[in-house]
Amino acid sequence: MLMIITGDSAIDIFDLKKLLKQNFKMKDLGELCYFLGIEVIQSPKGIWLLQRQYALNKLTKYGLMSYKPISIPLEQNVKLNVDEGDA
Amino acid sequence: MEQESQLINGPQEFSISGSSSTPWKGILRSLNIVHGSSQTSSRNPHVDDESSDSEKSVGEESRILLVITPKARMAKKVLKTPDNNNGVQRSTFIKYHVQKLTYDGFVAHHYTYMVKVIQEVETTCFEQAVANPKWDNAMDEEMAALDANATWELVALPEDKKAIGCKWVYKVKHNADGSMSKYKARLVAKGYAQTYGIDYEETYSPVAKMITVRAIIAMAATKGWSLHQIDVKNVFLHGDLHEKMYMEQPLGYVDQTHPNLVCRLKKTLYGLKQAPRAWLDKIGQYFVTSGFQTSNANFSLYVKKTDHGIVVIVIYVDDYHRR
């Protein structure tokens, strides 16, 4: 079980962590940087969410690590139409 | 069967069966598998021709035995098995389809790692564990922890109730370099014997949906909040148990003066169906008494407004790490 804590009151977050650690067995992982396969990078400009590790794991699992990366795997400039193609 | 398992679990040979979760599984893939050459892998047709059905089934026995030793060896075992139909002892060749794994092709670094890992053998059997001082200590530790937590009290079993069983589970914890870090014995309740409506009611654990987590992160991004994460240990052990649950006294730790009493569980134990739910209830209560409000949309979301600002908590299950 994991907990994400956020808010604008640093003092209250600090106190909460301290109380939680006293009452339950917990490990403070510090700043959030990884959850459910998503990497989190926090910066003053904003928060980046990336699934790099997840993608790497999948590629390794299916033995595709030696494949060349391509920026757009889909065919470009295809116009999809409601009336065409198989349902 | 017992004879067989003895053979397989013998001290010199380490067997891998598909169902058991050993730390080897990953390692196995990188090993060279050498097929036994001189062993017969198919049954002997002459036996089948003359024998009855029951004997056929014996003759058909062909087991896969993985032998992992630093030096490759052959394995061929003769078993004396009683023939059930006519009560006569007869010798049967169990034809092991032997696949040998050797370390010979390993570089020194991996060799040392493997040797470190296989030095510590996990047992599944209490009788073996109790004879080993390391596992015996581990069980003592676990019992002390359960006592300190006031997990149960000894009572007489009411007539209309049934006590569920429990089991010791043994695990060797390894450090990243393969060296042994700890012997861990864990007492696990046989939760599968619990009956819905009697032994447990609610098992649903309301944990955060992805969309909640994303919404919180989006909010943190726009407001410039920092995100923190806390890992909660022993979720299974801290919950209070509301149902009246009875469990047999753990093997090896039966109260000598009251061997007929059972454990009335007061706290949740590993394996109980309601354990995670009970923990969430408990921590939820804790948050509410500390002034947090639960979100109506998602019960794993807690918010508190203070003089200094706002604190938001989201609880979720990590399916990417252990457990």
Q: What is the pLDDT of residue A6?
A: 92
Q: Which of B223, B232, B306 sits opposite A1 (nearest CB)?
A: B232
Residue A52 inside a domain? The answer is yes
User: What whole-number percentage of chain A has pLDDT above 70?
Assistant: 97
Residue A35 inside a domain? The answer is yes
- Per-residue confidence at A86, pLDDT binned at 50, 70, 90? low
Q: What is the pLDDT of residue B101?
A: 63
Q: What is the pLDDT of residue B75?
A: 42
Report d(CA B103, CA A84) in Å as an integer: 59
Cβ B308–A16 below 8 Å, yes or no?
no
Q: What is the pLDDT of residue B85?
A: 52
B96, B75 Cβ separation under 8 angstroms: yes
Q: What is the pLDDT of residue B213?
A: 85
Q: Which of B213, B290, B304 sits opposite A4 (nearest CB)?
A: B213
Q: Is B138 on the interface with A (CB under 8 A)?
A: no
Report d(CA A16, CA A23) in Å as an integer: 11
Residue A20 inside a domain? The answer is no
Cβ B314–A4 below 8 Å, yes or no?
yes
pLDDT over threshold 70, residue B60: no
CA distances from B248 to A65, B219, B254, B264, B270 (A): 52, 50, 9, 9, 14
Report d(CA B187, CA B170) in Å as an integer: 9
Residue A42 inside a domain? The answer is yes
* Amino acid type, B251: L
Please state the domain count of chain A.
1
More confident residue, B28 or B152: B152
Average of per-residue pLDDT across B189-193 = 78
| B154-185 confidence digits (pLDDT tens) | 888 888 888 888 888 888 877 767 677 788 88
* Most confident listed range (B19-28, B252-261, B276-285): B252-261
* Contacts (Cβ under 8 Å, ≥6 apart) of B237: B149, B151, B267, B268, B269, B270
pLDDT over threshold 50, residue B4: no
Cβ B232–A24 below 8 Å, yes or no?
yes
pLDDT over threshold 70, residue A87: no
Nearest to B104 by CA among B174, B37, B34: B34
* Chain B partners within 8 Å of A37 (Cβ): 320
CA distances from B112 to A67, A83, B109, B178 (A): 33, 64, 5, 9
Residue A48 inside a domain? The answer is yes
User: What whole-number percentage of chain B has pLDDT above 70?
Assistant: 59
Q: Is A61 on the interface with B (CB under 8 A)?
A: no
* Chain B partners within 8 Å of A18 (Cβ): none
pLDDT over threshold 80, residue B147: yes
B304, B290 Cβ separation under 8 angstroms: yes
B277, B202 Cβ separation under 8 angstroms: yes
* Amino acid type, B92: T
Q: Is B209 on the interface with A (CB under 8 A)?
A: no
Residue A40 inside a domain? The answer is yes
CA distances from B282 to B150, B164, B257, B275 (A): 16, 24, 35, 11
First to last CA, chain A: 42
- Per-residue confidence at B203, pLDDT binned at 50, 70, 90? low
* Chain B partners within 8 Å of A6 (Cβ): 216, 219-220, 225-228, 311-312
Cβ A3–B235 below 8 Å, yes or no?
no
Find the range with the poorest average confidence among A64-73, B117-126, B214-223. Answer: B117-126
Contacting A residues, span 40-59, partner chain B, CB-CB under 8 Å: 40, 42, 44, 46-47, 49
Q: Which strand (E) or helix (H) includes residue B242?
A: strand B240-247
Average of per-residue pLDDT across B227-249 = 80
What residues make up the domain containing A38?
30-65
Residue A45 inside a domain? The answer is yes
Cβ B232–A26 below 8 Å, yes or no?
yes
Residue A58 inside a domain? The answer is yes
| B255-267 confidence digits (pLDDT tens) | 888 888 889 888 8
